[in-house]
Amino acid sequence: MGYISSLREKVGHDPIIHAAASVIVENEKGQILLQKRTDNGTWSYAGGAVELFERTEDTAKRELFEETGLIADELTLFGVFSGEELHYTYPNGDEVSTIDILYICRKYHGELRADGDEVSELRFFDIQELPELSPPVRMPMEEYKAHKGRNANVTT
């Protein structure tokens, strides 16, 4: 049983601080990989809860592989996001205040496949043509879009 599951047994649906590590995967065209969530039908980048004593980089790599089948060869820290914008109540009633440590991955390998449990579909999108995003990733994605706009002439 994972840390969050054991914590939920004690606190039920009450709000908790939720430490997460996530990954925005960029392909060679500059498109980003998003996954359609099975719990709320919206789109998100890969990510999930940091387990006890787990390094955030390891969490990001683990979640990326579990949800997409991709293996990160290199991660670059993009930012740490928290606050009211990352408050969320899951469809099952679990309430969280997320602190999301977000990485960018441009070097990866593996066979792209949706896990079928948390993720029903995977697709690369142009940054200006994003689908409906899951509420907790909207603010970090706006920051990412602004970053890409500021660095449009910079080769990555």
Q: What confidence tens digit (pLDDT) does each residue in 82-108 have?
A: 999 999 999 999 999 999 999 999 999
Q: In the predicted model, what is the mean pLDDT of the chain?
A: 94
* Rounded CA separation 99/87 (Å): 9
Task: Supply the pLDDT for residue 2.
Answer: 85
What percent of the chain lies above the pLDDT cut of 90?
A: 89
Amino acid in position 143: E
- For 3-150, the fitting CATH number among 3.40.390.30, 3.90.79.10, 3.30.70.360, 3.30.465.10 is 3.90.79.10
- More reliable by pLDDT, 154 or 75: 75
User: 96: which strand partners?
Assistant: 16, 88
25-41 pLDDT, tens digit each: 999 999 999 999 999 99
Residues 6+ apart with CB under 8 A from 17: 96, 97, 99
DSSP string computed for 105-156: EEEEEE-----SSSEEEEEEE-TTS--PBPHHHHHHHHHHHHHHHHTTTS--
Residue ranges per domain, the chain?
3-150
77-87 pLDDT, tens digit each: 999 999 999 99
Amino acid in position 132: E
Amino acid in position 10: K
Task: Supply the pLDDT for residue 153.
Answer: 57
* Rounded CA separation 102/117 (Å): 22
Structure-block tokens of residue 90:
């899951």
Q: Which of 113, 102, 126 is nearest to 47 (CA)?
A: 102
- Within 10 angstroms of residue 106's Cβ, the number of other Cβ atoms is 16
Q: Which of 127, 121, 117, 151 is nearest to 48 (CA)?
A: 117
Q: Which of 44, 55, 40, 46 is nearest to 108 (CA)?
A: 46
